[in-house]
Structure 1
Amino acid sequence: MSSQNQIVLSLGSNVGNRLEAIKSCIGIIHYEIATVVKVSSVYETPAWGFESEPFYNCAVLIHTSKSAQKILSQILKVEKQLGRTRSSEKGYQARIIDIDIISCNEDVVDSENLEIPHQQMHNRKFVLLPMHDLGMNWMHPKFKKSIPELLQICEDESDCKVVEKLVSPIEKLNLQNFNYIAIEGNIGAGKTTLATKISEDCNAKLVLERFADNPFLPKFYKDQNRYAFPLEMSFLADRYQQLTDDLAQFDLFKDFIVADYHIFKSLIFAKVTLHEDEFRLYKTMFDIIRKEMPKPDLYVYLYQNTERLLANIKKRGRSYEQEIPADYLEKINRGYLDYIKTQTDLNVLVIDISDLDFIKKQSDYVYLLNEINAKIK
Protein backbone atom coordinates (compact mmCIF):
# COMPACT_ATOMS: atom_id res chain seq x y z
CA MET A 1 0.00 0.00 0.00
CA SER A 2 1.30 3.43 -0.94
CA SER A 3 2.40 5.74 1.85
CA GLN A 4 1.31 8.69 -0.28
CA ASN A 5 -2.07 9.93 -1.41
CA GLN A 6 -2.91 9.19 -5.04
CA ILE A 7 -4.85 12.16 -6.36
CA VAL A 8 -6.31 12.63 -9.83
CA LEU A 9 -6.57 16.16 -11.19
CA SER A 10 -8.55 17.21 -14.26
CA LEU A 11 -6.98 20.04 -16.28
CA GLY A 12 -8.84 22.12 -18.85
CA SER A 13 -8.25 25.19 -21.02
CA ASN A 14 -10.25 26.96 -23.75
CA VAL A 15 -8.56 30.38 -23.94
CA GLY A 16 -5.35 31.22 -25.82
CA ASN A 17 -2.77 28.51 -26.46
CA ARG A 18 -4.66 25.69 -24.77
CA LEU A 19 -1.97 23.03 -25.13
CA GLU A 20 0.75 25.28 -23.80
CA ALA A 21 -1.43 26.23 -20.82
CA ILE A 22 -1.91 22.56 -19.92
CA LYS A 23 1.79 21.73 -20.35
CA SER A 24 2.78 24.71 -18.20
CA CYS A 25 0.27 23.67 -15.57
CA ILE A 26 1.67 20.12 -15.41
CA GLY A 27 5.21 21.48 -15.07
CA ILE A 28 4.30 23.82 -12.21
CA ILE A 29 2.37 21.13 -10.34
CA HIS A 30 5.26 18.67 -10.64
CA TYR A 31 7.96 21.14 -9.61
CA GLU A 32 6.12 22.99 -6.85
CA ILE A 33 3.28 20.85 -5.49
CA ALA A 34 3.39 17.08 -6.02
CA THR A 35 4.96 14.40 -8.19
CA VAL A 36 3.16 14.01 -11.51
CA VAL A 37 3.36 10.26 -12.06
CA LYS A 38 1.05 9.79 -15.07
CA VAL A 39 -0.55 12.06 -17.65
CA SER A 40 -3.42 11.18 -20.00
CA SER A 41 -3.74 12.13 -23.63
CA VAL A 42 -5.10 15.63 -24.31
CA TYR A 43 -8.67 15.60 -25.60
CA GLU A 44 -10.50 18.36 -27.45
CA THR A 45 -14.02 18.51 -26.12
CA PRO A 46 -16.97 20.88 -26.51
CA ALA A 47 -17.69 23.32 -23.70
CA TRP A 48 -19.87 21.63 -21.10
CA GLY A 49 -22.82 23.55 -19.64
CA PHE A 50 -22.32 26.80 -21.60
CA GLU A 51 -21.58 28.19 -25.07
CA SER A 52 -17.87 28.77 -25.66
CA GLU A 53 -14.79 27.63 -27.58
CA PRO A 54 -13.85 23.92 -27.28
CA PHE A 55 -11.68 22.85 -24.37
CA TYR A 56 -8.49 20.90 -24.23
CA ASN A 57 -8.74 18.48 -21.30
CA CYS A 58 -6.45 15.93 -19.67
CA ALA A 59 -6.03 14.11 -16.36
CA VAL A 60 -2.92 13.74 -14.21
CA LEU A 61 -2.14 11.34 -11.39
CA ILE A 62 -0.08 12.87 -8.59
CA HIS A 63 1.57 11.28 -5.55
CA THR A 64 1.78 13.39 -2.41
CA SER A 65 1.85 13.22 1.37
CA LYS A 66 -0.31 16.36 1.44
CA SER A 67 -4.03 16.26 2.09
CA ALA A 68 -6.59 16.91 -0.65
CA GLN A 69 -7.52 20.15 1.12
CA LYS A 70 -3.91 21.32 0.99
CA ILE A 71 -3.67 20.40 -2.69
CA LEU A 72 -6.84 22.39 -3.36
CA SER A 73 -5.37 25.56 -1.88
CA GLN A 74 -2.18 25.10 -3.90
CA ILE A 75 -3.83 24.42 -7.27
CA LEU A 76 -5.92 27.57 -6.86
CA LYS A 77 -2.63 29.45 -6.65
CA VAL A 78 -1.42 27.72 -9.82
CA GLU A 79 -4.57 28.83 -11.65
CA LYS A 80 -3.89 32.39 -10.58
CA GLN A 81 -0.22 32.08 -11.54
CA LEU A 82 -1.24 31.03 -15.06
CA GLY A 83 -3.56 34.00 -15.44
CA ARG A 84 -6.98 32.78 -14.39
CA THR A 85 -9.16 35.25 -12.54
CA ARG A 86 -12.12 33.62 -10.86
CA SER A 87 -15.37 35.54 -11.16
CA SER A 88 -18.11 35.79 -8.56
CA GLU A 89 -20.73 35.46 -11.31
CA LYS A 90 -22.75 32.26 -11.35
CA GLY A 91 -22.38 29.69 -14.12
CA TYR A 92 -19.49 28.38 -16.23
CA GLN A 93 -17.05 30.66 -17.99
CA ALA A 94 -14.22 30.42 -20.50
CA ARG A 95 -10.86 30.10 -18.75
CA ILE A 96 -7.18 29.83 -19.55
CA ILE A 97 -6.81 27.02 -17.03
CA ASP A 98 -9.10 25.02 -14.81
CA ILE A 99 -7.86 22.47 -12.26
CA ASP A 100 -10.29 20.20 -10.43
CA ILE A 101 -9.62 17.45 -7.90
CA ILE A 102 -11.46 14.38 -9.17
CA SER A 103 -10.42 11.74 -6.65
CA CYS A 104 -8.12 11.13 -3.70
CA ASN A 105 -7.41 7.42 -3.25
CA GLU A 106 -10.91 5.97 -2.88
CA ASP A 107 -11.81 8.46 -0.16
CA VAL A 108 -15.06 10.35 0.25
CA VAL A 109 -14.76 14.04 1.20
CA ASP A 110 -17.76 16.29 1.61
CA SER A 111 -16.81 19.71 2.91
CA GLU A 112 -17.93 23.26 2.21
CA ASN A 113 -15.40 23.83 -0.58
CA LEU A 114 -14.42 20.31 -1.65
CA GLU A 115 -16.35 17.21 -2.67
CA ILE A 116 -14.48 14.02 -3.54
CA PRO A 117 -15.07 12.18 -5.78
CA HIS A 118 -16.04 15.15 -7.95
CA GLN A 119 -19.83 15.29 -7.95
CA GLN A 120 -20.13 15.46 -11.75
CA MET A 121 -17.30 13.17 -12.85
CA HIS A 122 -19.57 10.26 -13.80
CA ASN A 123 -21.56 12.54 -16.12
CA ARG A 124 -18.59 13.93 -18.06
CA LYS A 125 -16.74 12.07 -20.81
CA PHE A 126 -14.02 14.73 -20.76
CA VAL A 127 -13.22 13.58 -17.22
CA LEU A 128 -13.77 9.83 -17.61
CA LEU A 129 -11.84 9.32 -20.86
CA PRO A 130 -8.62 10.98 -19.64
CA MET A 131 -8.92 9.24 -16.28
CA HIS A 132 -9.28 5.92 -18.11
CA ASP A 133 -5.94 6.63 -19.84
CA LEU A 134 -4.20 6.69 -16.44
CA GLY A 135 -4.74 2.93 -16.11
CA MET A 136 -5.64 3.04 -12.44
CA ASN A 137 -7.31 0.22 -10.59
CA TRP A 138 -9.78 2.69 -9.08
CA MET A 139 -13.32 2.16 -7.85
CA HIS A 140 -15.83 4.96 -7.28
CA PRO A 141 -16.40 4.78 -3.51
CA LYS A 142 -20.08 5.78 -3.77
CA PHE A 143 -21.22 4.01 -6.94
CA LYS A 144 -18.89 1.01 -6.54
CA LYS A 145 -18.01 1.14 -10.22
CA SER A 146 -14.69 1.30 -12.09
CA ILE A 147 -13.87 3.94 -14.70
CA PRO A 148 -14.66 1.56 -17.62
CA GLU A 149 -18.01 0.78 -15.99
CA LEU A 150 -18.77 4.48 -15.48
CA LEU A 151 -17.96 5.13 -19.15
CA GLN A 152 -20.38 2.43 -20.25
CA ILE A 153 -23.32 4.05 -18.44
CA CYS A 154 -22.31 7.69 -19.02
CA GLU A 155 -25.03 9.55 -20.94
CA ASP A 156 -22.71 12.31 -22.16
CA GLU A 157 -22.58 12.05 -25.98
CA SER A 158 -20.00 14.81 -26.49
CA ASP A 159 -17.45 14.31 -29.25
CA CYS A 160 -14.11 13.93 -27.43
CA LYS A 161 -11.09 13.41 -29.68
CA VAL A 162 -7.41 12.96 -28.84
CA VAL A 163 -5.26 15.86 -30.07
CA GLU A 164 -1.95 15.23 -28.29
CA LYS A 165 -0.13 12.43 -26.47
CA LEU A 166 1.74 13.62 -23.37
CA VAL A 167 4.37 11.99 -21.18
CA SER A 168 4.62 12.64 -17.45
CA PRO A 169 7.79 14.13 -15.93
CA ILE A 170 8.41 10.81 -14.15
CA GLU A 171 8.08 8.81 -17.37
CA LYS A 172 10.68 11.09 -19.00
CA LEU A 173 13.29 9.91 -16.50
CA ASN A 174 15.57 6.97 -17.27
CA LEU A 175 15.72 5.37 -13.83
CA GLN A 176 14.47 2.09 -15.26
CA ASN A 177 17.58 1.87 -17.45
CA PHE A 178 19.40 0.32 -14.48
CA ASN A 179 18.27 -2.77 -12.63
CA TYR A 180 19.41 -1.85 -9.14
CA ILE A 181 19.91 1.47 -7.34
CA ALA A 182 21.21 1.62 -3.76
CA ILE A 183 20.60 4.76 -1.71
CA GLU A 184 22.90 5.15 1.27
CA GLY A 185 23.47 7.69 4.00
CA ASN A 186 24.24 8.19 7.66
CA ILE A 187 21.75 7.57 10.46
CA GLY A 188 18.90 10.04 9.94
CA ALA A 189 19.99 11.15 6.46
CA GLY A 190 16.62 10.25 4.88
CA LYS A 191 17.70 7.30 2.73
CA THR A 192 14.68 5.15 3.62
CA THR A 193 12.25 7.99 2.95
CA LEU A 194 13.82 8.75 -0.42
CA ALA A 195 14.02 5.09 -1.47
CA THR A 196 10.38 4.56 -0.51
CA LYS A 197 9.20 7.62 -2.41
CA ILE A 198 11.18 6.71 -5.53
CA SER A 199 9.79 3.17 -5.43
CA GLU A 200 6.20 4.46 -5.32
CA ASP A 201 6.67 7.22 -7.89
CA CYS A 202 8.80 5.26 -10.36
CA ASN A 203 7.31 1.76 -10.10
CA ALA A 204 10.32 0.12 -8.46
CA LYS A 205 10.62 -2.86 -6.15
CA LEU A 206 11.57 -1.58 -2.69
CA VAL A 207 14.14 -3.28 -0.45
CA LEU A 208 14.38 -1.83 3.06
CA GLU A 209 16.86 -2.77 5.75
CA ARG A 210 15.30 -4.73 8.61
CA PHE A 211 17.15 -2.84 11.35
CA ALA A 212 14.12 -2.66 13.65
CA ASP A 213 14.19 -6.44 14.17
CA ASN A 214 17.78 -6.54 15.42
CA PRO A 215 17.76 -7.35 19.16
CA PHE A 216 21.33 -6.08 19.64
CA LEU A 217 20.68 -2.54 18.41
CA PRO A 218 19.14 -1.02 21.60
CA LYS A 219 21.79 -2.82 23.68
CA PHE A 220 24.58 -1.48 21.47
CA TYR A 221 23.58 2.16 22.04
CA LYS A 222 23.72 1.54 25.81
CA ASP A 223 27.00 -0.43 25.85
CA GLN A 224 28.96 -0.21 22.59
CA ASN A 225 32.05 -2.09 23.75
CA ARG A 226 30.10 -5.15 24.78
CA TYR A 227 27.61 -5.40 21.94
CA ALA A 228 29.47 -3.96 18.91
CA PHE A 229 30.74 -7.27 17.54
CA PRO A 230 27.51 -9.33 17.86
CA LEU A 231 25.59 -6.35 16.44
CA GLU A 232 27.80 -6.02 13.37
CA MET A 233 27.88 -9.78 12.76
CA SER A 234 24.11 -10.06 13.01
CA PHE A 235 23.68 -7.09 10.66
CA LEU A 236 26.09 -8.63 8.15
CA ALA A 237 24.27 -11.95 8.17
CA ASP A 238 20.85 -10.34 7.89
CA ARG A 239 21.88 -7.94 5.11
CA TYR A 240 23.43 -10.79 3.15
CA GLN A 241 20.34 -12.95 3.52
CA GLN A 242 17.89 -10.19 2.65
CA LEU A 243 19.78 -8.85 -0.36
CA THR A 244 20.39 -12.37 -1.67
CA ASP A 245 16.68 -13.14 -1.48
CA ASP A 246 15.28 -9.81 -2.70
CA LEU A 247 17.72 -9.20 -5.55
CA ALA A 248 17.20 -12.73 -6.85
CA GLN A 249 13.42 -12.44 -6.91
CA PHE A 250 12.57 -10.59 -10.12
CA ASP A 251 9.23 -8.76 -10.12
CA LEU A 252 7.59 -8.69 -13.56
CA PHE A 253 5.44 -5.75 -12.56
CA LYS A 254 8.29 -3.48 -11.42
CA ASP A 255 10.80 -1.61 -13.58
CA PHE A 256 13.85 -1.84 -11.29
CA ILE A 257 14.98 -2.31 -7.68
CA VAL A 258 15.72 0.48 -5.21
CA ALA A 259 17.20 -0.29 -1.79
CA ASP A 260 17.97 1.92 1.20
CA TYR A 261 21.29 0.16 1.89
CA HIS A 262 23.91 -2.16 0.47
CA ILE A 263 26.21 -4.74 1.98
CA PHE A 264 29.11 -2.23 1.81
CA LYS A 265 27.69 -0.32 4.76
CA SER A 266 28.47 -3.26 7.03
CA LEU A 267 32.21 -2.71 6.63
CA ILE A 268 31.90 1.05 7.14
CA PHE A 269 30.02 0.76 10.45
CA ALA A 270 32.18 -2.12 11.65
CA LYS A 271 35.36 -0.12 11.11
CA VAL A 272 33.97 2.62 13.37
CA THR A 273 32.50 0.42 16.10
CA LEU A 274 34.89 -2.55 16.40
CA HIS A 275 38.28 -2.88 18.05
CA GLU A 276 41.20 -3.60 15.72
CA ASP A 277 41.39 -7.34 16.37
CA GLU A 278 37.61 -7.73 16.07
CA PHE A 279 37.62 -5.76 12.84
CA ARG A 280 40.26 -8.03 11.27
CA LEU A 281 38.11 -11.06 11.98
CA TYR A 282 35.01 -9.26 10.77
CA LYS A 283 36.66 -8.18 7.50
CA THR A 284 37.65 -11.76 6.76
CA MET A 285 34.00 -12.78 6.92
CA PHE A 286 32.91 -9.69 5.00
CA ASP A 287 35.31 -10.30 2.10
CA ILE A 288 33.96 -13.83 1.67
CA ILE A 289 30.37 -12.61 1.57
CA ARG A 290 31.01 -9.58 -0.61
CA LYS A 291 32.24 -11.70 -3.52
CA GLU A 292 28.77 -13.19 -3.89
CA MET A 293 26.88 -9.89 -3.79
CA PRO A 294 25.93 -8.00 -6.97
CA LYS A 295 27.03 -4.38 -7.15
CA PRO A 296 24.36 -1.71 -7.60
CA ASP A 297 24.22 -0.04 -11.01
CA LEU A 298 24.13 3.25 -9.15
CA TYR A 299 25.25 3.95 -5.58
CA VAL A 300 23.77 7.18 -4.21
CA TYR A 301 25.18 8.64 -1.00
CA LEU A 302 23.08 11.29 0.75
CA TYR A 303 25.42 13.49 2.76
CA GLN A 304 24.01 15.53 5.63
CA ASN A 305 26.01 17.52 8.16
CA THR A 306 25.99 16.35 11.77
CA GLU A 307 23.71 19.13 12.99
CA ARG A 308 20.97 18.14 10.56
CA LEU A 309 21.44 14.45 11.32
CA LEU A 310 20.97 15.03 15.06
CA ALA A 311 17.86 17.13 14.39
CA ASN A 312 16.38 14.40 12.17
CA ILE A 313 17.14 11.69 14.72
CA LYS A 314 15.45 13.68 17.46
CA LYS A 315 12.43 14.36 15.25
CA ARG A 316 11.77 10.73 14.37
CA GLY A 317 11.87 9.84 18.06
CA ARG A 318 13.37 6.34 18.24
CA SER A 319 14.24 6.04 21.92
CA TYR A 320 17.40 3.95 21.46
CA GLU A 321 18.84 6.55 19.02
CA GLN A 322 18.44 9.64 21.17
CA GLU A 323 21.82 9.30 22.90
CA ILE A 324 23.89 8.86 19.72
CA PRO A 325 26.87 11.24 20.09
CA ALA A 326 27.81 13.73 17.38
CA ASP A 327 31.32 12.34 17.04
CA TYR A 328 29.92 8.88 16.22
CA LEU A 329 27.91 10.34 13.32
CA GLU A 330 30.96 12.26 12.13
CA LYS A 331 33.02 9.05 12.10
CA ILE A 332 30.32 7.31 10.05
CA ASN A 333 30.23 10.17 7.55
CA ARG A 334 34.03 10.10 7.19
CA GLY A 335 33.92 6.32 6.85
CA TYR A 336 31.45 6.51 3.98
CA LEU A 337 33.36 9.27 2.17
CA ASP A 338 36.71 7.51 2.60
CA TYR A 339 35.18 4.27 1.31
CA ILE A 340 33.63 5.98 -1.72
CA LYS A 341 37.01 7.44 -2.73
CA THR A 342 38.46 3.95 -3.03
CA GLN A 343 35.66 2.52 -5.19
CA THR A 344 36.95 3.15 -8.70
CA ASP A 345 34.67 0.51 -10.28
CA LEU A 346 31.48 1.62 -8.55
CA ASN A 347 29.11 4.13 -10.16
CA VAL A 348 28.80 6.63 -7.28
CA LEU A 349 26.75 9.78 -6.86
CA VAL A 350 27.29 11.89 -3.74
CA ILE A 351 24.61 14.53 -3.06
CA ASP A 352 24.92 17.06 -0.25
CA ILE A 353 21.39 17.42 1.09
CA SER A 354 22.30 19.43 4.20
CA ASP A 355 20.36 22.43 2.86
CA LEU A 356 17.59 20.42 1.17
CA ASP A 357 14.25 19.19 2.48
CA PHE A 358 12.88 16.77 -0.11
CA ILE A 359 10.02 15.78 2.20
CA LYS A 360 8.48 19.23 2.54
CA LYS A 361 9.79 20.90 -0.64
CA GLN A 362 8.71 19.30 -3.89
CA SER A 363 11.36 21.25 -5.82
CA ASP A 364 14.10 19.64 -3.69
CA TYR A 365 12.73 16.19 -4.47
CA VAL A 366 12.63 16.98 -8.19
CA TYR A 367 16.24 18.18 -7.93
CA LEU A 368 17.30 14.82 -6.45
CA LEU A 369 15.48 12.90 -9.17
CA ASN A 370 17.16 14.98 -11.86
CA GLU A 371 20.59 14.49 -10.28
CA ILE A 372 20.09 10.72 -10.19
CA ASN A 373 18.75 10.71 -13.74
CA ALA A 374 21.69 12.75 -15.03
CA LYS A 375 24.12 10.28 -13.46
CA ILE A 376 22.39 7.37 -15.13
CA LYS A 377 22.63 9.05 -18.53
Structure 2
Amino acid sequence: MKKIFSVAVEGNIGSGKTTLLNFFKKYRNVEVLVEPVEKWKNIKGFNSLDLMYKDATRWSSAFQSYVTLTMLQNHHYHNDEINIRMTERSVYSARYCFIENLYKSKLMPEIDYAMLGEWHDWIKTNAEAQLDIIVYLQAKPETCLTRIAERNRHEELGVPLDYLQTLDSLHNDWLIKKIHGEVPAKVIIINTDGNKEDVIKQIQAVESEVMCGIQPLL
Protein backbone atom coordinates (compact mmCIF):
# COMPACT_ATOMS: atom_id res chain seq x y z
CA MET A 1 0.00 0.00 0.00
CA LYS A 2 1.50 3.32 -1.04
CA LYS A 3 2.26 6.07 1.46
CA ILE A 4 -0.44 8.71 1.77
CA PHE A 5 0.64 11.81 3.66
CA SER A 6 -1.82 12.95 6.31
CA VAL A 7 -2.38 16.68 6.87
CA ALA A 8 -4.74 18.07 9.52
CA VAL A 9 -6.03 21.63 9.26
CA GLU A 10 -6.62 23.04 12.73
CA GLY A 11 -7.90 26.34 14.05
CA ASN A 12 -10.74 28.21 15.67
CA ILE A 13 -14.24 28.55 14.26
CA GLY A 14 -13.96 31.20 11.54
CA SER A 15 -10.17 30.99 11.28
CA GLY A 16 -10.16 30.25 7.54
CA LYS A 17 -10.18 26.45 7.34
CA THR A 18 -12.66 26.39 4.45
CA THR A 19 -10.52 28.86 2.48
CA LEU A 20 -7.45 26.67 2.87
CA LEU A 21 -9.27 23.42 2.13
CA ASN A 22 -10.81 24.89 -1.02
CA PHE A 23 -7.35 26.06 -2.12
CA PHE A 24 -5.99 22.50 -2.03
CA LYS A 25 -9.20 20.82 -3.19
CA LYS A 26 -8.40 21.72 -6.80
CA TYR A 27 -5.50 19.27 -6.88
CA ARG A 28 -6.48 15.79 -8.00
CA ASN A 29 -3.82 14.12 -5.84
CA VAL A 30 -5.25 15.74 -2.69
CA GLU A 31 -8.37 14.38 -0.97
CA VAL A 32 -10.04 16.96 1.27
CA LEU A 33 -12.18 15.51 4.06
CA VAL A 34 -14.28 18.09 5.88
CA GLU A 35 -15.65 17.68 9.40
CA PRO A 36 -18.39 15.03 9.12
CA VAL A 37 -21.08 17.38 10.42
CA GLU A 38 -23.82 15.70 8.38
CA LYS A 39 -23.14 12.43 10.18
CA TRP A 40 -23.36 14.21 13.53
CA LYS A 41 -26.71 15.68 12.50
CA ASN A 42 -28.25 12.34 11.50
CA ILE A 43 -27.49 9.22 13.54
CA LYS A 44 -30.40 6.98 12.62
CA GLY A 45 -32.61 10.07 12.62
CA PHE A 46 -31.14 11.72 15.73
CA ASN A 47 -29.37 15.08 15.49
CA SER A 48 -26.55 14.67 18.01
CA LEU A 49 -25.15 18.13 17.24
CA ASP A 50 -28.46 19.79 18.05
CA LEU A 51 -28.83 17.71 21.22
CA MET A 52 -25.33 18.78 22.29
CA TYR A 53 -26.13 22.46 21.81
CA LYS A 54 -29.42 22.14 23.72
CA ASP A 55 -28.08 20.16 26.69
CA ALA A 56 -24.29 19.85 26.70
CA THR A 57 -24.16 18.41 30.22
CA ARG A 58 -26.37 15.49 29.16
CA TRP A 59 -24.96 14.84 25.70
CA SER A 60 -21.31 16.02 25.66
CA SER A 61 -19.75 12.60 26.31
CA ALA A 62 -21.89 10.70 23.83
CA PHE A 63 -21.38 13.41 21.22
CA GLN A 64 -17.60 13.52 21.64
CA SER A 65 -17.41 9.72 21.49
CA TYR A 66 -19.17 9.84 18.13
CA VAL A 67 -17.04 12.75 16.94
CA THR A 68 -13.96 10.67 17.74
CA LEU A 69 -15.31 7.72 15.74
CA THR A 70 -16.08 9.85 12.67
CA MET A 71 -12.72 11.62 12.87
CA LEU A 72 -11.00 8.22 12.97
CA GLN A 73 -12.93 7.23 9.86
CA ASN A 74 -11.48 10.31 8.13
CA HIS A 75 -7.97 9.41 9.36
CA HIS A 76 -8.35 5.94 7.83
CA TYR A 77 -9.64 7.09 4.44
CA HIS A 78 -7.48 5.55 1.70
CA ASN A 79 -7.49 6.11 -2.05
CA ASP A 80 -4.55 4.90 -4.16
CA GLU A 81 -5.04 7.79 -6.60
CA ILE A 82 -4.07 10.45 -4.04
CA ASN A 83 -0.86 11.50 -2.30
CA ILE A 84 -2.31 13.76 0.40
CA ARG A 85 -5.23 13.18 2.75
CA MET A 86 -6.22 16.56 4.19
CA THR A 87 -8.70 16.59 7.06
CA GLU A 88 -10.59 19.43 8.66
CA ARG A 89 -9.50 19.02 12.28
CA SER A 90 -8.52 15.66 13.80
CA VAL A 91 -8.93 13.30 16.75
CA TYR A 92 -6.21 15.38 18.44
CA SER A 93 -8.11 18.67 18.44
CA ALA A 94 -11.23 16.77 19.48
CA ARG A 95 -9.31 15.70 22.58
CA TYR A 96 -7.13 18.69 23.42
CA CYS A 97 -9.50 21.51 22.44
CA PHE A 98 -13.14 20.45 22.46
CA ILE A 99 -13.23 17.73 25.13
CA GLU A 100 -10.88 19.86 27.22
CA ASN A 101 -13.21 22.83 26.89
CA LEU A 102 -16.28 20.84 27.91
CA TYR A 103 -14.52 19.52 30.99
CA LYS A 104 -13.07 22.87 32.05
CA SER A 105 -16.47 24.50 31.52
CA LYS A 106 -17.97 21.90 33.90
CA LEU A 107 -20.19 20.54 31.12
CA MET A 108 -18.57 17.09 31.29
CA PRO A 109 -18.31 14.96 34.46
CA GLU A 110 -14.84 13.95 35.59
CA ILE A 111 -15.52 10.24 35.03
CA ASP A 112 -16.58 10.90 31.41
CA TYR A 113 -13.49 13.06 30.89
CA ALA A 114 -11.28 10.28 32.29
CA MET A 115 -12.88 7.60 30.07
CA LEU A 116 -12.57 9.72 26.92
CA GLY A 117 -8.97 10.46 27.89
CA GLU A 118 -8.17 6.73 28.03
CA TRP A 119 -9.96 6.19 24.72
CA HIS A 120 -7.80 8.87 23.10
CA ASP A 121 -4.61 7.54 24.72
CA TRP A 122 -5.34 4.17 23.14
CA ILE A 123 -6.06 5.76 19.75
CA LYS A 124 -2.70 7.57 19.75
CA THR A 125 -0.75 4.30 19.98
CA ASN A 126 -3.03 1.74 18.35
CA ALA A 127 -5.42 3.25 15.81
CA GLU A 128 -3.08 4.51 13.05
CA ALA A 129 -4.11 8.14 13.42
CA GLN A 130 -0.63 9.49 12.71
CA LEU A 131 -0.22 12.89 11.10
CA ASP A 132 2.60 14.21 8.92
CA ILE A 133 1.67 17.90 9.07
CA ILE A 134 -0.60 20.07 11.21
CA VAL A 135 -1.54 23.39 9.62
CA TYR A 136 -2.57 25.76 12.40
CA LEU A 137 -4.61 28.70 11.17
CA GLN A 138 -4.13 31.37 13.79
CA ALA A 139 -6.61 34.26 13.89
CA LYS A 140 -7.67 36.59 16.67
CA PRO A 141 -10.98 35.58 18.29
CA GLU A 142 -12.39 38.98 17.30
CA THR A 143 -11.56 38.26 13.64
CA CYS A 144 -13.27 34.88 13.91
CA LEU A 145 -16.38 36.43 15.44
CA THR A 146 -16.66 38.94 12.59
CA ARG A 147 -16.38 36.17 9.98
CA ILE A 148 -18.96 34.03 11.78
CA ALA A 149 -21.42 36.93 11.68
CA GLU A 150 -20.72 37.56 7.98
CA ARG A 151 -21.23 33.96 6.82
CA ASN A 152 -24.35 33.51 8.98
CA ARG A 153 -24.34 29.69 9.28
CA HIS A 154 -27.31 28.37 11.24
CA GLU A 155 -25.29 26.09 13.53
CA GLU A 156 -22.97 28.97 14.49
CA LEU A 157 -25.64 31.49 15.46
CA GLY A 158 -25.05 32.86 18.93
CA VAL A 159 -21.41 31.75 19.28
CA PRO A 160 -20.06 34.20 21.90
CA LEU A 161 -16.65 35.87 21.88
CA ASP A 162 -15.60 34.26 25.16
CA TYR A 163 -16.10 30.78 23.63
CA LEU A 164 -13.82 31.72 20.72
CA GLN A 165 -11.28 33.12 23.20
CA THR A 166 -11.32 29.85 25.12
CA LEU A 167 -10.83 27.78 21.95
CA ASP A 168 -8.00 30.10 20.90
CA SER A 169 -6.24 29.52 24.23
CA LEU A 170 -6.76 25.75 24.02
CA HIS A 171 -5.30 25.60 20.49
CA ASN A 172 -2.29 27.64 21.63
CA ASP A 173 -1.83 25.47 24.72
CA TRP A 174 -1.80 22.36 22.54
CA LEU A 175 0.15 23.47 19.45
CA ILE A 176 2.45 26.25 20.69
CA LYS A 177 2.94 25.86 24.43
CA LYS A 178 2.71 22.04 24.11
CA ILE A 179 1.25 21.59 27.57
CA HIS A 180 0.01 18.11 26.60
CA GLY A 181 3.46 16.97 25.50
CA GLU A 182 4.98 16.76 22.05
CA VAL A 183 2.64 17.56 19.18
CA PRO A 184 2.07 14.52 16.90
CA ALA A 185 3.42 16.22 13.75
CA LYS A 186 5.28 19.21 12.40
CA VAL A 187 3.19 22.38 12.87
CA ILE A 188 2.93 25.02 10.15
CA ILE A 189 1.41 28.24 11.51
CA ILE A 190 -0.43 30.56 9.13
CA ASN A 191 -1.68 33.93 10.34
CA THR A 192 -5.17 34.34 8.93
CA ASP A 193 -6.21 37.70 10.36
CA GLY A 194 -6.13 39.38 6.94
CA ASN A 195 -8.73 39.40 4.18
CA LYS A 196 -9.27 36.39 1.92
CA GLU A 197 -6.69 37.53 -0.65
CA ASP A 198 -4.06 37.98 2.07
CA VAL A 199 -4.85 34.56 3.53
CA ILE A 200 -4.45 32.90 0.12
CA LYS A 201 -1.04 34.58 -0.29
CA GLN A 202 -0.03 33.17 3.10
CA ILE A 203 -1.18 29.71 1.99
CA GLN A 204 0.73 29.96 -1.29
CA ALA A 205 3.90 30.84 0.62
CA VAL A 206 3.86 27.48 2.45
CA GLU A 207 2.11 25.39 -0.22
CA SER A 208 5.07 23.08 -0.92
CA GLU A 209 5.60 22.46 2.80
CA VAL A 210 1.91 21.66 3.35
CA MET A 211 2.08 19.29 0.37
CA CYS A 212 4.98 17.44 2.05
CA GLY A 213 7.10 18.18 -1.02
CA ILE A 214 4.66 16.35 -3.33
CA GLN A 215 4.03 17.99 -6.71
CA PRO A 216 0.38 19.13 -6.89
CA LEU A 217 -1.55 17.76 -9.87
CA LEU A 218 -4.28 19.82 -11.50
Q: TM-score range by the shorter chain?
A: 0.7 to 0.9
Check whether the contact 2:192–2:199 (CA below 8 A) recurs between aligned residues.
Answer: no
Name the residue aligned to 1:357.
195
AA at the equivalent of 1:206: V
Is it true that 1:198 corresponds to 2:24 in the alignment?
A: yes
More strand, by proportion: 1
Deviations 1:217-236 (A, max 9, x none): 12222332222222111111
In 1: Cα distance, 2:133 partner to 2:4 partner: 8
Secondary structure of the residue aligned to 1:257 is strand
RMSD: 2.3
TM-score by length of 2: 0.78
Distance (Å, rounded) in 1 between the aligned partners of 2:36 and 2:184:
28
Is 1:259 the counterpart of 2:87? The answer is yes
Kindly provide the CA deviation profile for residues 311-331 of structure 1, in whole angstroms up to 9, marking residues without a partner as x: 222222222321222222211
Which of residues 217, 224, 234 is equivalent to 2:66?
234
Q: CA contact under 8 A between 1:221 and 1:321: conserved in structure 2?
A: no
Please tell me whether residue 212 in structure 1 is matched to residue 51 in structure 2. Answer: no
Compare relative contact order (CA 8 Å, sep 6+) and give the higher one, 1 or 2. 2
The unaligned stretches of length 5 or more in structure 1 are: 1-176
| Alignment check: 8 A CA contact 1:301 1:351 kept | yes
State how far apart, in whole Å, the 2-side matches of 1:314 and 1:270 are.
25
Deviation, structure 1 residue 372: 4.3
Alignment of 1:284 with 2:118, yes or no, is: yes
Higher helix content, 1 or 2 = 2
| 5+ long unaligned stretches in structure 2 | 41-46, 214-218
8 Å contact kept, 1:221–1:323: no
SS at the partner of 1:348?
strand
Q: What is the correspondence of 1:19-38 to structure 2 with a 5 Å cutoff?
A: none
Per-residue deviation, 1:201: 4.3
State the number of aligned residues: 193
In the alignment, is the contact (CA less than 8 A) between 2:68 and 2:94 conserved in 1? yes
Q: Tell me the alpha carbon deviations over residues 243-273 of structure 1, each in whole angstroms, 9 at most, x when there is no partner.
A: 22x1xx2332x33222222210110200101
Mark the structure with the bigger radius of gyration: 1
Amino acid at match of 1:305: K
TM-score, with length taken from structure 1: 0.47
The residue type equivalent to 1:271 in the other structure is E
